[in-house]
Amino acid sequence: QVQLVESGGGLVQAGGSLRLSCAASGLTFSSYNMGWFRQAPGKEREFVAAIYWSGRLTDYADSVKGRFGMSRDNAKNTVILQMNSLKPEDTAVYYCGLPSRGSSWSQVRVAQVYDYWGQGTQVTVSS
């Protein structure tokens, strides 16, 4: 059974940093693209970042580009979201997602493409 477990969220002041991790099991990890999404109260789930199965390519939402970095360690079945220069508008529950193997890299920004999600980790940024 596929399991995705996020960790590393917390409370941080504006301008600070957090490092989120997503540990995967029950899948051939290196065969899958991976994504990070976030959801704030009353809002739709929003794309944050994605990484290609090999780690060679990444994609970022305009709102986080230059501040967040995504990486993966296929040997450890783990993806990382390094978040720097955090802003109050980054406050949300952050989810790690696994897209369908039938989907393409060009679809990684679309939440409906994802087959499985972790439980989420709360990130709160105070002003």
pLDDT in tens, 84-123: 999 999 999 999 999 998 899 999 999 999 999 999 999 9
- Could you give the percent of the chain with pLDDT greater than 70? 100
Rounded to whole angstroms, how far apart are CA atoms 105 and 58? 10
What residues have CB less than 8 Å from 54, skipping those under 6 apart?
30
- Three-state SS string across 50-119, please? EECCCCCCEEECCCCCCCEEEEEEHHHCEEEEEECCCCHHHCEEEEEEEECCCCCHHHCCCHHHEEEECC
